[in-house]
Amino acid sequence: MHNQSHLFRKCAVVLTCKSPRHHSLTVVAQKLLLRQNHLQADLAGETACPTIAGKGPMLVAHAVSPACRDLFSASKQALLRGFAAATMLVSAWPVAAQVDLGLSPMRVEFPAVPGRPFSGSLVLSNAGSATSRVRVEMLDVYVDETTTPQFVANAPAEAAWSCRNWLSANPMELELGPRRQALVRYTVRVPATASERSFHCALGFRTLPTVSEETGTSMHTAVRMIAVFYATVGKPAISGVIKELRLEPVAIPDGTVWRAVVIMENSGSVLYRPMGELEIVDSSGKVVESQKVTSFPVLPKRQQRYVLPLKSSLSPGPYTLKARIEVGGEIQEASVAVVAEVPAPTAAPPQQ
């Protein structure tokens, strides 16, 4: 794993994935959105913290750099690349104490048996210097068109695939002292009527403000860490195909960059994780760039976009996108001819 860190102006919100072998990957927010008097950083995904040696990784969340006030003069949206499953809310005040929480594992997958509960435990750790209050919540999960998992209290479209109502945790709220760990026990009570398919849900661990943070002017860092649950009843067959390959321009202040898009379809009733690569080839047959398709879940009965930003600057002209992806142990190949055409600039509206 590689180490990398990013600063957004003079304020840094940093997350670190630490594996059981002490490798680490520091990542930051995928989306920074200014909302009222808070900076919200949404982070999503499960690929930056892969399971190593059969053990789940631990997400550690830090809030650093107290000079955050100038964020409010910044753009209302900035896109930075990040992967850890967490949400952080940061107000524009000096930091009172560093938040340094860990959660392991972040993903639980198991074969579910109708009528039989499945139980286990998660480890919540506090390596910081202050006590943290944490509340547990049961959540629905879905993945949006940018391949970003969304964790919400209720997603009606996921009702047929959700295990949220089966999930319970103990304790539901706790205080975790400095340099302490706590076990949070969970149970998934699978109904006897559960059909043969995969189900998904999540436990969210959200920090609450302390008394001093509620009454003072110190910075409140609200961290929500996520453990995702995937339960599979029976042995439903994987049914996935490469549905479409696209080349899309993305306008930036300095011109245009390109991204390749792989659209995977899941017509079955169980999730799968495609893995492979996509090549962009020019008219002479030269491979201009190759991108890995990460092993990220395609949930049942839907199409999922995998967006692959290209590093290469493409000259206008014809290209071929070639994909080679493994789906359920089967290698699928697809190719499509595309043309790199820079969109015409949008005319400025007439001045009044």
If asked whether residues 193 and 335 sit together in one domain, one would say no
If asked whether residues 181 and 32 sit together in one domain, one would say yes
Q: Answer yes or no: is 97 within a domain.
A: yes
Q: How many domains does the chain have?
A: 2
DSSP class of residue 219? B
> How many angstroms separate the most distant Cα atoms in the chain?
69
Q: What is the torsional sign of CA 90, 96, 98, 102?
A: negative
Distances from the Cα of 123 to the Cαs of 93, 103, 163, 169, 185, in angstroms? 30, 6, 21, 12, 9
Spell out the alpha helix ranges (H) of 12-144.
Answer: none
Domain that holds residue 69: 12-233
CA–CA separation, 280 vs 259, rounded Å? 10
Distances from the Cα of 42 to the Cαs of 67, 222, 234, 338, in angstroms? 20, 12, 34, 33
Instruction: Say if residue 41 is exposed, middle or buried (CB neighbours under 10 Å; 0-12, 13-18, 19+).
Output: buried
Q: What is the mean pLDDT of residues 43-49?
A: 36
Specify the pLDDT at position 97: 52
Condensed to tens digits (0 to 9), the pLDDT of residues 265-317 reads: 999 999 999 999 999 999 999 999 999 998 889 999 999 999 999 999 999 99
Contact 48, 18 (CB under 8 A): no
CA–CA separation, 113 vs 124, rounded Å? 27
Query: Range with the lowest mean pLDDT among 132-136, 207-211, 312-316?
Result: 207-211
Half-sphere exposure of 154 (CA within 13 A, CB side): 2
Specify the pLDDT at position 149: 86
Question: What percent of the chain has pLDDT above 70?
Answer: 66
If asked whether residues 41 and 175 sit together in one domain, one would say yes
pLDDT confidence band for 150 (50 / 70 / 90): confident
Q: Is the entire prediction scored with pTM above 0.85?
A: no
Of the three residues 211, 233, 255, the one that is the final residue of a domain is 233
Instruction: Say if residue 183 is exposed, middle or buried (CB neighbours under 10 Å; 0-12, 13-18, 19+).
Output: exposed
CA–CA separation, 199 vs 230, rounded Å? 6
If asked whether residues 259 and 315 sit together in one domain, one would say yes
If asked whether residues 80 and 190 sit together in one domain, one would say yes
Specify the pLDDT at position 348: 57
The more confidently predicted of residues 27 and 129 is 129
Q: Answer yes or no: is 325 within a domain.
A: yes
Q: 295: domain CATH number? A: 2.60.40.10
If asked whether residues 22 and 63 sit together in one domain, one would say yes
What the block records as the tokens of 344 is: 């015409």
The more confidently predicted of residues 116 and 100 is 116
If asked whether residues 229 and 254 sit together in one domain, one would say no
CA–CA separation, 16 vs 14, rounded Å? 7
Of the three residues 194, 211, 233, the one that is the final residue of a domain is 233
Kindly calculate the radius of gyration of the chain based on its CA atoms and give it in whole angstroms: 22
pLDDT confidence band for 65 (50 / 70 / 90): very low
Q: Answer yes or no: is 345 within a domain.
A: no
Of the three residues 164, 199, 233, the one that is the final residue of a domain is 233
Specify the pLDDT at position 98: 58
If asked whether residues 292 and 216 sit together in one domain, one would say no
Specify the pLDDT at position 129: 84
Closest CA to 266 of 322, 233, 306: 306
Half-sphere exposure of 39 (CA within 13 A, CB side): 30
